[in-house]
């Protein structure tokens, strides 16, 4: 009898430590000595099969991601042999910084309007960015003054399915030299220069230029520059920007000073004529009655798949960043899995390489959650413990703790959200990517308490939201629409080198 007291005491101590401690038991962050070597005497290594199914955020599960005002927005189009086509259009308002607005300084006289240039900050690209990919062409359109409703400035966060009406063209199709975008460029007559800025000249639209300069409140006190509502109804209700040629997505941050509408003109002050520039910006400020009101913005993203995704996804899974696809995973062997000490449990997903991976790279970070089995229609909830072991949370939202990590952040390293480059096990290419998603604490909770064996969802979100609990949006680290990867499914028909699996390192309780 006494011989069993010490082992039981040790086991009880382990349970207390697991339940209350936030120490990370992970070789990537603490040290390999915390996971005992597999000796098949005290510590064992096993793998379980996974039943994988392909899912897509469409139809009743349509993606409704909303970008924040300070996010990177996508603009462009791609054609991917594995995943089909993507078209991302950008809609935004650029406004004066104050009302009543006047161009130049208070005592300036505008002599001549030279040009108007729409500028976007450049934050990177995704897709075929090689020099051989051909020209990139962009075109700018206005948004009609009659467009109100959801485009009203008071409604700021629109999901990626929304687009306002498009009016007349303000520019021809304009070729963009991406090498020049990434080099310093002098602007105006002075010493000012910019880098990482996309520039589209709108000077071909003489009517638009006249509309801007004729609205100067120095000449029209009750005109389009007198207040925000007049500006949107008489001068500019916004711009629509589309890529008409190219095979990449460009990323821009609208709150960056490089995003602006430049007004180039000649002015006279005190008998001296000079060439100068003024600009309108994207306003992220207050959205009440005070001026200037927040700028409206939308990022319509359409995915068109040339062929249906494989069904049911047991042999190949196609993971495409939001708005995209997901994998649904079931692990039947975990149901009733007996109690033991779980040193490490990880879902292993192996990339099946393809030549197109050079242009269309994998998502930077994956994420996983659980089906909330008590809700109809189906809802999802965060996975227990493993999102951030240093930040307490309760996915069931019942214990007084928040349902998502209190910091609002996922510990990406602990979760294993980023892929690792490894040798291609099948020898198709030199290297490939492997995702190892950490579910150690979740599985330990399951075997201790014999909790339900939930269905798991794996995807690459831009933001995370659980509407059954709250409308709170938790930003994730992937750019919208950036990244896709083909991985092996869990079927026994899959090449074992690419087969999806759950690996467990454990010790029995003696």
Average pLDDT across each block of 10 residues of the chain; the chain has 510 residues. List them in order. 42 44 38 70 94 92 92 97 96 93 83 93 93 82 90 81 96 94 82 91 92 78 85 94 97 97 91 89 73 88 79 84 96 96 97 94 98 82 96 92 95 97 80 96 96 97 94 95 96 88 94
What are the φ and ψ backbone dihedral angles of 56, each rounded to 5 degrees?
Answer: -140, 145
User: CA-to-CA distance for 282 and 261, rounded, in angstroms?
Assistant: 9
pTM for the model: 0.89
Query: Are 258 and 121 within 8 A, CB to CB?
Result: yes
At 144 the pLDDT is 96
Note the pLDDT of residue 32.
37
What's the pLDDT at 356? 93
Strands 193-194, 185-186: pairing kind: antiparallel
What is the SS3 string spanning 230-293? HHHHHHCCCEEEEEEECCEEEEEECCCCCCEEEEEEEEEECCEEEEEEEEEECCCCCCCCCCCC
Residue (of 458, 451, 441) closest to 369 by Cα position: 458
* Rounded distance between C-alpha atoms, residue 416 and residue 434, angstroms: 10
Domain boundaries, the chain: 22-62+309-507, 84-304
**Residue 15: what pLDDT?**
45
pLDDT at 314: 84
| Amino acid 100: pLDDT | 87
């Amino acid at each position: 009898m006494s011989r069993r007291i010490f082992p039981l005491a040790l086991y009880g101590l382990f349970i207390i430590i697991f339940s209350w401690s936030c120490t990370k038991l992970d070789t990537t962050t603490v040290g390999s000595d915390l996971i005992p070597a597999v000796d098949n005497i005290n510590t064992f290594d096993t793998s379980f099969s996974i039943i994988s199914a392909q899912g897509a955020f469409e139809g009743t599960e349509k993606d409704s991601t909303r970008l924040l005002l300070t996010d990177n927005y996508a603009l462009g189009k791609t054609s991917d042999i594995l995943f089909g086509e993507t078209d991302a259009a950008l809609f935004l308002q650029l406004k004066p910084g104050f009302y009543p607005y006047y161009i130049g300084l208070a005592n300036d006289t505008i002599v001549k309007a030279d040009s108007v240039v729409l500028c976007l900050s450049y934050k990177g690209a995704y897709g075929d960015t090689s020099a051989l990919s051909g020209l990139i062409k962009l075109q700018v359109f206005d948004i009609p003054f009659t467009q109100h409703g959801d485009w009203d400035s008071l409604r700021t966060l629109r999901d990626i399915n929304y687009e306002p009406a498009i009016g007349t063209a303000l520019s021809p199709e304009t070729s963009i030299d991406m090498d020049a975008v990434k080099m310093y460029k002098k602007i105006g007559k002075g010493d000012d220069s910019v880098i990482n800025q996309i520039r589209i000249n709108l000077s071909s639209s003489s009517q638009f230029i006249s509309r801007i300069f004729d609205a100067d409140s120095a000449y029209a006190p009750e005109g389009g520059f007198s207040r925000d509502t007049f500006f949107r109804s008489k001068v500019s209700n916004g711009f629509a920007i589309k890529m008409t040629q190219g095979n990449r997505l460009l990323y821009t941050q609208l709150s960056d000073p490089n995003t602006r509408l430049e007004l180039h003109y000649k002015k006279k002050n005190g008998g001296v004529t000079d060439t100068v520039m003024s600009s309108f910006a994207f306003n992220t400020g207050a959205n009440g009655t005070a001026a200037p009101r927040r700028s409206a913005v939308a990022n319509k993203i359409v995915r068109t798949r040339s062929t249906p995704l494989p069904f049911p996804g047991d042999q190949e899974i196609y993971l495409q960043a939001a708005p995209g696809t997901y994998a649904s995973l079931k692990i039947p062997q975990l149901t009733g899995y007996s109690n033991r000490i779980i040193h490490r449990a990880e879902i292993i997903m192996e990339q099946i390489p393809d030549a197109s991976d050079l242009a269309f790279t994998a998502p930077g970070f994956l994420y996983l959650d659980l089906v909330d089995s008590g809700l109809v229609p189906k809802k999802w909830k965060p996975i227990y413990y493993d999102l951030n072991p240093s930040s307490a949370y309760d996915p069931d939202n019942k214990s007084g703790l928040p349902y998502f990590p209190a910091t609002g952040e996922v510990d990406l390293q602990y979760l294993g959200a980023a892929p690792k480059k490894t040798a291609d096990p099948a020898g198709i290419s030199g290297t490939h990517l492997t995702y190892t998603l950490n579910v150690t604490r979740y599985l330990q909770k399951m075997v201790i308490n014999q909790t339900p064996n939930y269905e798991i969802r794996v995807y690459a979100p831009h933001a995370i939201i659980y509407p059954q609990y709250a409308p709170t949006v938790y930003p994730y680290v992937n750019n919208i629409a950036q990244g896709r990867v083909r991985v092996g499914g869990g079927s026994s028909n899959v090449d074992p080198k690419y087969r999806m699996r759950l690996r467990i390192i454990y010790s029995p309780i003696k």
